[in-house]
Structure 1
Amino acid sequence: MYPPFPPHGRSGRRAMRRSARCLSPSSAEPAVPVPPRHAPRVLDALTTRRLGQQNQVLRRLRALGVTVLATDLDPQLTIVIDRADAFRLRAISSCIVTRRTGGIDMVTVELDGCRVAWLEAAP
């Protein structure tokens, strides 16, 4: 094992040898596997396809000028948008579903296989 930064100056090799002596196997701690700092993520084909589908819808919303507040990888690939931009989606969507909960309406539309939702105050 080497020091975290290479030593500088004339005594570089000597310092390197000294640090290697200090970390000899007899004085070092037992070898424990250390996971890499940035372990690669492994995504299956279904998750990759769903992320691509959601990314495509996000690009379409961005082209419309819609502000996206949150996204989720639930089975419906929910995307939450700002209420001020809802009129843009009401104009292009065919199926609008409204659920009333207390004094708040949750409005959802289906857009290319993703559920886009926003909250509105009940009338």
Structure 2
Amino acid sequence: MYLLRVRCGIIRVHGMISDLAEFLRRHGFKVIAYRDALRVPDEELPIYLEVKLDAGKIYTAIGFTEELREILEEKASGGESIEDIVEDALSRLNTCALLVKKWADERRLVTIFRLREGSVELMDLLEELREEMEG
């Protein structure tokens, strides 16, 4: 009986993740779905929104890959404003996070935003790059 409940829970979570992924795709976002989570990569930078479903709660967080530093260095050396580029990416992902909340609210799920930590890490990276370019 316990195994049946666990399997039903896994199937339910996977179904909800699939449903959320389709909802976000209909709103124009690219989505990479996993069994109990999904990622929404930004269209310009290797920054993403990660969404996890666990025990009736949806957790959202901002993350980025190791390639980000190199890409930002190239854009900065080309004269682009990396602050504006990162701000635009965060804006797009925050819009996506609000859509996740809308979807979750309709299903009476609690949304827990953990966006600040990833945003702070991004700002720290920008500060490091700015200091390196000035020094």
TM-score (norm 2): 0.34
Looking at secondary structure, tell me which structure has more helix per residue.
2
Structure of greater relative contact order (alpha carbons < 8 Å, 6+ residues apart): 2
TM normalised by structure 1 equals 0.37
